[in-house]
Structure 1
Amino acid sequence: MNFAHRFVRSTGLALALAVLGFNPESAMAADMQRTSGASLVAGDVAPGRLFGRDVREGIGPGLVSVSNPASPKLPLAAPLAPETRRSKSTVLHVPPGSAATQLELPIDTPDEAWVMFIPKGSNAKAGEEALREVSMVDPKGRRADVRAARSANAQLGVDPTKAISKPITMLKLDRDMGRGQYKVQVGRKAAELGLAVEVRVPASSIELSLTASAMQLFPGDDGYVTVGLASDAKVDHVRYEAVLYTPRFERDRVVPVVKVGNEHRAMVSRVMNEKDEPGAWVLEVRAVGSAGGQAFDRLGQTSFGFAVPTARIDSVGRARLVRDSAGKVTALEVDVVLESAAVDRYEVTGTLVATDPKGVERPVAEAQVTDQLGAGTHTLTLRFEAGHAGLSKLDGVYSLKGLRLYSLGTNTLYHRLTQGLGVRFPAVRVSELAAAEVTPAIESLMREGEFNLVP
């Protein structure tokens, strides 16, 4: 019960306060910090729309609240951000059941380049027989696979006398072989079995890069993957092809690649909707073209999370200290209000952070609270045990960081606010904190010096 309610009830002046324009419920609302309009940092996730998808299997009722100490030895982790995946390689496929064929490999920089032949399937003997029908010639029409195989064996430390009877699987090219179109002859057995040909050109300046706009996308988001192409030589022309793979890595659908300003984007959001399954999706992009008059082929992959959110964090209440009868602080609590559109078991997690004498933010405790909730508005309380925070010997004003909401029914992240809306607890001294129960796990951490900031 907050001060406003106690005052009204104890004095019986509710009517007078109303006349004066004081509304206790408005005072409570003022204590809440809403997530709508919150400033997001790299790696944050914030759903804009909720979907009514109940999850009833594999979940159960029951409120569970947990607090654990955190080691302050490492500063607070930097916010997560999408990684840029880079590629100077490509893969060409001969599907199983194909007829004998010829593949062309555009190799712009043969120096230190590698070509690998990978039979499909798990039959090692069939794969070995198939590879005997695979050969490669250089741009001048000269047989290149035998010489390149010797170079690869020398690089890998393979005894050449033992490699004589083995089919060629790895080729190492060199500058003298020349750049241009290499041709791979795939015989009948190899084509029937299926073959993948991987080409790596690490010395080339032509590099494909893929960067997702966010680590997690939701239906209706303006989600995309930026497609970049770097080259020392002027790119004469390039064609991009993009395709999505499901979380089970099944080839699924084509993604349009469009030019937006000075960059190209694979518009993932245009081809995904709320009927798609949650999980980690993979985008594969192929760039085929020429630069400085030399043909190139690059293939890259990147992944991103996709979820159909049924809940989000609506607001966070004022942080408070909980004291026992002796005045000791036993816990630091903060209420988190969720908006839910479906039944699920939801988990809210957060990190309690202190600032050391040098001004560095350090984690001192972590808390999780989980419960099965239905559609509506619900309040879950993050409770950090004061003794866990006290193990670090850091006091002052603690703050809440790394606020996250998970769906345990779908094992999916729905909401993440790295800065935690700037929630700060009332100042407190270490001497005011109740001692922590020294469990075997905490005792082990203490022996290892995890709570000692000074060596």
Structure 2
Amino acid sequence: MNFPHFFFRSAGGALAAAILGFTQGPAMAADMQRTAGAQLSSGDVAPGKLFARDASEGIGPGLVSVSNPSSPKQPLAAPLAPETRRSKSTVLHVAPGSAATQLVLPIDTPDDAWVMLIPKGSNPKAGEEALRDVTMLDAKGVRADVRAARAGNAQLGVDAERLKSEGIMKPISMLRLDKEMGRGQYQVQVGRKAAELGLAVEVRLPSSSIELSLTSSAMQLFPGDDGYVTVGLQSAEKVDHVRYEAVLYTPRFEKDRVVPVVKVGPEYRAQVSRAMSERDEPGAWVLEVRAVGSAGGQAFDRLAQTSFGFAVPTARIDSVGRARLVRGAAGKVAALEVDVVVESAALDRYEVTGTLVATDAKGVERPVAEAQVTDQLGAGTHTLTLRFEAGHAGLSKLDGAYALRGLQLYSLGTNTLYHRLNQGLGVKFPAVRAAELAEAKVTPAIEHLMREGEFNLVP
């Protein structure tokens, strides 16, 4: 999973940008809403400890402020949140260069199950020879790989004999099990040639009630915080016992370290953040968890993986100021502004982004404008102002009390998300009628959106 720097765009989208100089001074403390202790919603990301690690790229000076219109035709997109990864399968490996060996596969539900024999490497001919050196016995000790291969080919519509006559190799063997083969301990006998080449054995049990699930506590985890992955095990039968093993893989998918899985209240957690430090590489890490045990007297083996972002935060949003309307000389509202105070522990170019929403007649929040502001900041407390052009908001013809949503802080030097508050701390702007908003300068991009009817909510 990656967290790329996000630029706001409209369809065809020209950006209204102004180079404004350097960061403004701190705002009045009495007007600020602090993020400390704020209740987080689904998909929020909030760093705890900050680290003094200067960025070396993408940190040129100069404050840039951007406003862009949004199409209100679609409701505000739901915030990104961690997904739950579920697995009714497992994978066993025979490393290249191994001696002949035997693998035991606990098959708790053979109905419609699959066993896939996957030779290592990229040489199809060597893989075909290795597969001839592998046999599988069912729970009764009867050889089952030949009939299971026929069943697999029939299920997939593969004419194995025709492929063989045409000289087409099959380096992956698909074995389909059935209820008659019985549940229990299957054996895969890996001969010398197969063991030397290396082999992966994947078992899929779609009809089983035993399912392993992994859910990250957040999409972005930080060192020293209480970031974890919840490990769940569901089963229609009583679980007699289970043992969890968890290991981390780096962003280059190199096996790295073991992670403790502990019981916290009613659930098990892989304590990821406690196993990582600020010396670790930022990026998308993978957690692999294996659950081995028995349920209803039958052994099972499940393997699941999930990914999460890992970052070493050097800044966070400290507080958000009172939202205000900025009027021009003619008395029209020229902009809607809100100050965002950023606490930084290192030199970097930071970007604050936000979405302005209006509520339609049915009570649905709709995006009407987007803004971003970036600047090079050093260690200390700094104020960046999100400025939404009133004309962009007015294109939707929606009025009332506009609100701030999707408040985010990025590091452009590391291309990483540091802080996200989807509800924007509940910031609301003073109520204003659409007729009070200054008209937008119609650029070719905005003209295109108008022709497409992107701002027309009434059919």
Q: Provide TM-score, normalisation by structure 2.
A: 0.90
SS at match of 1:428: coil
Q: How does 1:8-27 map to 2 (within 5 A)?
A: none
Counterpart position of 1:148: 148
Counterpart position of 2:56: 56
Q: 2:380 aligns with which of 376, 379, 400?
A: 376
Check if 1:230 corresponds to 2:224: no
Q: Provide TM-score, normalisation by structure 1.
A: 0.91
Counterpart position of 2:3: none
User: How far is 1:401 from its partner?
Assistant: 0.9
Q: Counterpart of 1:249 in structure 2: which amino acid? A: F
**Contact between 1:71 and 1:364, CA under 8 Å: does it hold in 2?**
yes
Percent identical across equivalent pairs? 84
In 1, Cα distance between the equivalents of 2:130 and 2:113? Answer: 23
In 2, Cα distance between the equivalents of 1:27 and 1:65? Answer: 18
In 2, Cα distance between the equivalents of 1:73 and 1:423? Answer: 23
Counterpart position of 2:162: 162
User: How far is 1:439 from its partner?
Assistant: 2.5
In 2, Cα distance between the equivalents of 1:257 and 1:418? Answer: 30
In 2, Cα distance between the equivalents of 1:88 and 1:113? Answer: 10
**Contact between 1:279 and 1:307, CA under 8 Å: does it hold in 2?**
yes
Q: Deviations over 1:425-449 (max 9, x none)?
A: 1221111222222233323322332
Q: 1:399 aligns with which of 403, 406, 412?
A: 403
User: How far is 1:164 from its partner?
Assistant: 5.0
| Structure 2 gap segments, 5+ residues each | 1-24
**Contact between 2:223 and 2:274, CA under 8 Å: does it hold in 1?**
no
SS at match of 1:92: strand
In 2, Cα distance between the equivalents of 1:257 and 1:147? Answer: 40
Q: Deviations over 1:238-257 (max 9, x none)?
A: 11110011111111000111
**Contact between 2:288 and 2:305, CA under 8 Å: does it hold in 1?**
yes
Higher relative contact order structure (alpha carbons within 8 Å, sequence separation ≥ 6): 2
Counterpart position of 1:303: 307
**Contact between 2:27 and 2:383, CA under 8 Å: does it hold in 1?**
no
User: How far is 1:77 from its partner?
Assistant: 2.5
Check if 1:446 corresponds to 2:450: yes
SS at match of 2:147: helix
**Contact between 1:345 and 1:370, CA under 8 Å: does it hold in 2?**
yes
CA RMSD in angstroms comes to: 1.8
In 2, Cα distance between the equivalents of 1:41 and 1:395? Answer: 26
Counterpart position of 1:10: none
Q: How does 1:407-446 map to 2 (within 5 A)?
A: 407-446=411-450
Shift of the 164–56 alpha-carbon distance from structure 1 to 2, 3 Å rule, reads closer
SS at match of 1:454: coil
Q: How does 1:90-169 map to 2 (within 5 A)?
A: 90-163=90-163, 166-167=169-170, 169=173
Shift of the 84–343 alpha-carbon distance from structure 1 to 2, 3 Å rule, reads same
User: How far is 1:206 from its partner?
Assistant: 0.5
Counterpart position of 1:16: none
Counterpart position of 2:7: none
In 1, Cα distance between the equivalents of 2:452 and 2:136? Answer: 58
**Contact between 2:72 and 2:455, CA under 8 Å: does it hold in 1?**
yes
Q: Deviations over 1:118-176 (max 9, x none)?
A: 11122222222222212211111222111111111111111243245655611111111
**Contact between 1:97 and 1:191, CA under 8 Å: does it hold in 2?**
yes
Counterpart position of 2:316: 312
| Structure 1 gap segments, 5+ residues each | 1-24
SS at match of 1:384: strand
For the pair shown, the structure with the greater C-alpha radius of gyration is 1
Counterpart position of 1:3: none
Q: 2:343 aligns with which of 339, 345, 349?
A: 339
Counterpart position of 2:214: 210
Counterpart position of 1:30: 30
Moved more, 440-449 or 199-208: 440-449
In 1, Cα distance between the equivalents of 2:453 and 2:255? Answer: 49
Structure 1 consecutive aligned stretches of length 4 or more whose deviation exceeds 3 Å? 25-28, 163-168
**Contact between 1:241 and 1:285, CA under 8 Å: does it hold in 2?**
yes
Q: Counterpart of 2:211 in structure 1: which amino acid? A: E
Q: Counterpart of 1:341 in structure 2: which amino acid? A: A
Q: Counterpart of 1:329 in structure 2: which amino acid? A: V
Counterpart position of 2:9: none
Q: Counterpart of 1:63 in structure 2: which amino acid? A: L
In 2, Cα distance between the equivalents of 1:211 and 1:443? Answer: 44
SS at match of 1:109: coil
Shift of the 325–122 alpha-carbon distance from structure 1 to 2, 3 Å rule, reads same
User: How far is 1:58 from its partner?
Assistant: 3.6
SS at match of 1:434: coil
